[in-house]
């Protein structure tokens, strides 16, 4: 790849705002871009991108003005899921989930039209063109922040439909914090964030149904002074319906997220 082609590809895959503080917010699933060559192979319902983390980049849009880094993926997770390992090994063995290049929606419905399949060579191409550039940017930014401050904090930002019987029972709490049961972040950092979440009006779970995906588990290594936490937000907390922003709900949620950002910024290992 030429030096000239690299920035164009990066703009296709992600948007990175580099900050000066030790915190990086990662938003891997809010994108809805998709090549036309793939769209024509998808079902009509799938082309509405029902499993998108709607507006999560907007929820955390305050980060750059606070001097915090923000990395946002631009493409749909149906192309390739940036929060899955390239091995496609299940992150939740024994539980329903979706894969690296998913063929089913969260509710179990097919993503592809009848007769359409994904070849191994196509998966490999998607990894190289979309998955790897995002992770190189993520890894590079964490290293830059660690060099600046002696440590870095990664906050991986997600959202999901609050009612998904195939994935979990009942109604999901609005705020779901995951640290892979304490393995990916210092105990005192996790406790500070949990304190903010539980002081809010939103229902909260810690290392419940969602304990952190591949991004959190891969980059959260406290022994190397990189701490990672994942927040999965139930849509009930800020949407009035799928893909419909509720200003009143969202404004309150953003204030909570800003308090979390303060904790992340002021904490020291």
Give the model confidence (pLDDT) of 15-33 as tens digits: 999 999 999 999 999 999 9
Sorted by sequence, the CB contacts under 8 Å of residue 197 that are 6+ apart come out as 175, 177, 204, 256, 260
CA dihedral 133, 139, 140, 142 (to 10 degrees): 140
Residue-wise pLDDT tens digits, 46-105: 999 999 999 999 999 999 999 999 999 999 999 999 999 999 787 777 776 778 999 999
Query: What domains, with CATH codes, occur in the chain?
Result: 5-32+50-76+124-266 (3.40.630.40)
> Under a CB-based contact definition with an 8 Å cutoff, are residues 206 and 177 in contact?
yes
Q: Match 């809805």 to its residue by tokens.
A: 32
Q: What residues are paired with 227 via a beta bridge?
A: 153
Mean pLDDT over 108-135 rounds to 96
**Claim: this prediction has a pTM higher than 0.85:** yes
Q: How confident is the model at residue 9 (pLDDT cuts 50, 70, 90)?
A: low
Q: How confident is the model at residue 1 (pLDDT cuts 50, 70, 90)?
A: very low
Residue-wise pLDDT tens digits, 160-210: 999 999 999 999 999 999 999 999 999 999 999 999 999 999 999 999 999
**Residue from 259, 154, 247, 246 nearest 197 by CA:** 259
């Amino acid at each position: 790849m030429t030096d000239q082609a690299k920035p164009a590809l990066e703009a296709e895959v992600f948007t990175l705002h580099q900050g000066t503080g030790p915190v990086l917010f990662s938003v891997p699933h809010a994108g809805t871009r998709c090549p036309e060559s793939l769209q024509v192979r998808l079902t009509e319902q799938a082309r509405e991108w029902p499993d998108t983390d709607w507006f999560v980049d907007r929820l955390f849009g305050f980060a750059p003005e606070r001097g915090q880094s923000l990395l946002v993926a631009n493409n749909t997770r149906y192309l390739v899921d940036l929060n899955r390992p390239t091995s496609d090994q299940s992150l939740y063995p024994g539980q329903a989930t979706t894969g690296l290049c998913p063929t089913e929606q969260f509710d179990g419905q097919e993503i592809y039209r009848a007769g359409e399949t994904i070849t191994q060579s196509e998966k490999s191409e998607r990894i190289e063109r979309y998955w790897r550039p995002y992770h190189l940017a993520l890894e590079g930014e964490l290293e830059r922040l660690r060099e600046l401050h002696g440590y870095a904090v990664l906050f991986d930002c997600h959202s999901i439909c609050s009612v998904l019987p195939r994935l979990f029972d009942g109604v999901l709490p609005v705020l779901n914090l995951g640290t892979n049961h304490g393995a990916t972040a210092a105990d005192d950092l996790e406790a500070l964030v949990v304190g903010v979440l539980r002081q809010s009006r939103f229902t909260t779970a810690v290392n419940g149904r969602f304990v952190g995906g591949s991004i959190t588990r891969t980059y959260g290594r406290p022994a190397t002074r990189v701490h990672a936490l994942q927040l999965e937000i139930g849509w009930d907390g800020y949407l009035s319906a799928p893909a419909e922003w509720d200003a009143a709900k969202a404004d309150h949620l953003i204030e909570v997220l800003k308090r979390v950002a303060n904790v992340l910024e002021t904490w020291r290992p």
